[in-house]
Amino acid sequence: MKSLSLKKSRIKKILLREINLLKDKRGFLKAGLPRYNRLFGRDSLISAWELLDFDSNIARNTLKILSKYQGKKTKQGSEEEPGKILHEVKKFFPWNYYGSVDSTPLFLILFYFYFKATADEKFLKKHWVNVLSALNWIYNYGDRDGDLFLEYKRKTRIELFHQGWKDGFENHLKIAPPVAIVEAQGYQYLALVGIAQLAGEVFNDKKLKNSLNHRAESLKEKFNKKFWMKSKKYFALALDGQKKQRKAIASNPGHLLFTGICKKEKEKLVVRRLFQEDLWTPYGIRTHSALEPDFNPRSYHLGSIWPHDNWIIAQGLRRLGYKKEYHKVKTALFRAVEKFGFVPELYAVEKGKLVQYPGSCHPQAWASGALLSFLEDNY
């Protein structure tokens, strides 16, 4: 027991040092070093969520700074839209960049989680206008065709083609836009349900509460029909611009488990699929199935392993009571950290062996935050 305690103590020191290196003087976490030493919407929101029980002020400061930068007008070059949460602060550019489909629902989710953890009513009321503006973006900009799904299509050739967490300048996911990526639908669902709860409990706004819950239930019903691949018993990676499924097996549907969007009978099928050997390794869940024709264990998004991706999946496992599977993921990530001696942004597993990914950032906020969260939990 003593040696285990010493090992945890040593790892915690490493993680705290990494987090402190990334902490901005304004209290949020910058995404990573060396390339991402600035504010990113998605990264900062997820790392703040990971550390919510450890230091809720990080979440508060993240929500505060992102509210400040929240979109106010429509600009094609920066992809800014009213209510939209930015993708990143741009250095040496005349504007910040807003090309992210999931930063806005994650912003709403973190508001919900932050209030549940702190009961900070004063902060929520001060920023309720930002919450309503983000909801407006979901309704009027994120879902332009009115089919309930959040979709993206870049508005300039020089910026990101894909705008979910597996983002990139090329069409590496092989999905024709507008793209309805699977995990963003789950994020939207929880954002709607969570803000509906706050609208009722804190503001006694029954009209808004009922409206949000109605959209959430309609979204859940439609999502489980349109994204489910009957032959593969798993959710599709996305719907493309023609509303056709991109049928690849990937880690993305694992993010749905914490959101509540999956129907009960599908939850266990998703969990079971994540732990089959084409996705599962001794060091965590791959981003992309080894059975897919474009699989590459050393690819950035098509076969590598990301600690934050695994952590998000694990939150769903915990929520649904899959304790054994939760600890399986947790143990796998610590196994990788012990071999590396640090927490990389991502890594590869090739022929069962752990391989360092060239150019992987270290420290990376949402990777270090994931391991610190695992280290501190009592589940």
pLDDT in tens, 162-181: 999 999 999 999 999 999 99
Helix (H, G, I), strand (E, B) or coil at 93: coil
Which two three-digit tokens encode residue 108?
A: 């709403």
pLDDT (tens digit, 9 = 90+) per residue, 290-325? 999 999 999 999 999 999 999 999 999 999 999 999
Q: What is the 3-state secondary structure (H, E, C) of 260-312?
A: CCCCHHHHHHHHHHHCCCCCEECCEECCECCCCCCCCCCCCCCCCECHHHHHH
Lookup: tokens for 332: 């796998």
Say what the pLDDT of residue 91 is.
80
Token pair 């503001």 is at which residue? 203
Q: Residue 70: which of 82, 78, 61 has the closest Cα?
A: 82
Tokens 């640090």 sit on residue: 342
For residue 340, CA distances in Å to 318, 336, 346 come to: 26, 6, 11
pLDDT < 50 positions in the chain = 1-4
Calculate the alpha carbon distances from 136 to 189, 192, 203, 208 in Å: 15, 11, 18, 12
**Cα angle at 138 between 135 and 143, to 5 degrees?**
155
pLDDT of residue 94: 78
Q: Given this model, what pLDDT does residue 3 score?
A: 47
Q: Which of 68, 64, 58, 63 is nearest to 16 (CA)?
A: 58
Distance CA 147, CA 134 (A): 18
* Tokens 């987090």 -> residue: 19
pLDDT, residue 2, reads 44
* pLDDT in the model for residue 24: 97
Report the DSSP beta bridge partners of residue 355: 348
pLDDT, position 163: 98
Contacts of 306 by beta carbon, 8 Å cutoff, 6+ apart: 287, 345, 346, 367
C-alpha count within 13 angstroms, C-beta hemisphere, residue 169: 4
* Cβ–Cβ under 8 Å, residues 34 and 41: no
| Pairwise CA distance, residues 256 & 241, whole Å | 22
Q: Alpha-carbon torsion 14, 281, 319, 128, what sign?
A: positive
Pick from 217, 346, 350: nearest CA to 281: 350
Task: Compute CA distances 377 → 11, 17, 56, 162, 311, whole Å.
Answer: 14, 19, 15, 33, 12
Count other C-beta atoms under 10 Å from residue 192's C-beta: 26
Residues of the domain holding 21: 2-376
CATH of the domain at 35: 1.50.10.10
Number of domains comprising the chain: 1
* 150 alpha-carbon distance from chain centroid: 14
